[in-house]
Amino acid sequence: MQPLENIRVLDLSRVYAAPAGSMMLADLGAEVIRVEHPNGSDSMRDWGPFLNDQSTYYLCANRNKKSITLDLKTNEGREKFKELVKDADIILENFKTGDMTRMGLSYEELKKVNPRIIHCAVTGFGQTGPLAYEPGFDPVIQAMSGLMHVTGSTEGEATRVGVPIADILTSQYVVISILAALRMRDQTNEGQFIDLALLDVQMSSLANVASAFLNTGFASERLGNRHNNVAPYQVFNCADGPLMICVGTDGQFQKFCLMMEHEEWAKDARFMTNTMRKQNEAELVKMITNMTMTKTRDEWIVLLQQYKIPGGRVNTVAEALEQPQFMARDMIGEIEHEQYGKMKFVKNPLKFSSLNIQYKLAPPTLGEHTNEFQKSSLPK
């Protein structure tokens, strides 16, 4: 048994944020039906590199789904969609604000068809506000949210995170909000509309950076691999490459000094508390670097583990995917599609004591399951 069995999602979304969210719902047992334009509506299918002509970008957000084609710009397509809505639980879309209304498919119209329907709309800026009708892609959101301002080296330019982090975080909120709406529907027997904006998500994810400014006026700046509030808490160069070391408490710092064979550092007035270490961070970092350069990363990791101090290699993507811890967690899966063959993927990170997430369907080709479309409805 899967937790979301008998839950049907009509997924009209494209690119990453919303599709990645519906994929997680599918992993948990929901029947997710991608509703796509007959000519294709997801530009992600065109982004390389490719596996047997299928975009690996598209593959990472669309497993365990079906795909049917409908042209929602035609009366026939809209009427068929409404028939699907009668037996659906969730509509997920990321059209620009106002597009669903222009097509006659607003939440107000769709809840007339199914009062229990949950409609989750994902946009760059939300359904309200001066930018509501503007497009908002992940890099734009990273820039506007202030995230880029606090990312990168001290001397360098504002830097985008290396993955579409605003999209990724929003996909998590897609799942959270839909699960909450389903639970509420259990109590009220009514659906609702969810207005989810990438900018809101990314702003809420500024966490301690936003809290510091809102409450004290302290504005964080780019610090490279250093921490805004804690020291030593950064990347240090070793004899064979970079190593992240995080000394989060005064107690850990005392153990760290013992590990470094410099117990006198812990008694130095400049370094006795975290506040003092931040004030004298440049001097401390120089002293630590002189030591870390004397050993390899693996040699330091043995010591860090012995002294219970958090630390880890700065891995390449290849090294990260092949590291023993990741492999021990059985986090790489493989699934086969009859048209484009075998594909590997990073599994859903959720692990339960009495639930095994199943990977039944490879990401579908455009309209692959349209033949299951009988008359005007898919049987539930």
pLDDT exceeds 80 at position 12: yes
Say which DSSP state 371 is in. G
pLDDT band of residue 313 (cuts 50, 70, 90) is very high
Q: What pLDDT was estimated at residue 170?
A: 98
Separation between Cα atoms, residue 135 and residue 219, nearest integer Å: 28
Peptide bond into 232 cis (omega under 30): yes
Instruction: Determine the average pLDDT of the residues in 128-151.
Output: 96
Judged by DSSP in three states, 245 sits in strand
CB 22 within 8 A of CB 65: yes
Question: What per-residue string of b and e applies to 115-124 under the rule 16 or more CB within 10 Å gives b?
Answer: eebbbbbbbb
Is the pLDDT confidence value at 378 over 70? no
Contact 68, 44 (CB under 8 A): no
CATH number of 233-315: 3.30.1540.10
Instruction: Please give the structure tokens belonging to residue 102.
Output: 């222009």
Nearest alpha-carbon partner for 118 in 89, 148, 155: 89
CA–CA separation, 121 vs 245, rounded Å?
41
CA distance 200 to 164: 15
Q: How far apart are CA 131 and CA 137, in angstroms?
A: 13
- Please state the domain extents for the chain: 8-205+329-372, 233-315
- When mean pLDDT is compared across 52-56, 129-133, 138-142, 240-244, the lowest value belongs to 52-56
Q: Please list the alpha-helical segments (H only) found in 217-358.
A: 250-259, 264-267, 274-279, 281-292, 297-306, 317-322, 324-328
pLDDT of residue 376: 45
- pLDDT per residue over 165-205, tens digit each? 999 999 999 999 999 999 999 999 999 999 999 999 999 99
User: Do residues 125 and 131 lie in contact, with contact meaning Cβ atoms separated by under 8 Å?
Assistant: yes
- 346 φ/ψ angles, rounded to the nearest 5 degrees: -80, 125
The mean pLDDT of 300-318, rounded to a whole number, is: 97
Assigned CATH for 8-205+329-372: 3.40.50.10540
Q: Backbone phi, then psi, for 27, in 5-degree steps?
A: -60, -30
Tell me how far apart the alpha carbons of residues 290 and 288 are, in angstroms, rounded to a whole number.
5
**Catalytically annotated residues:** 167
Under 8 Å CB-to-CB from 305, ≥6 apart: which residues? none
Residue with tokens 């880890």: 312
Cα–Cα distance, 111 to 115 (Å, whole number) = 4
Judged against a pLDDT cut of 60, whether residue 380 lies above it is answered with no
User: Is the preceding omega at residue 139 within 30 degrees of 0, hence cis?
Assistant: no
pLDDT score recorded for residue 181 = 98
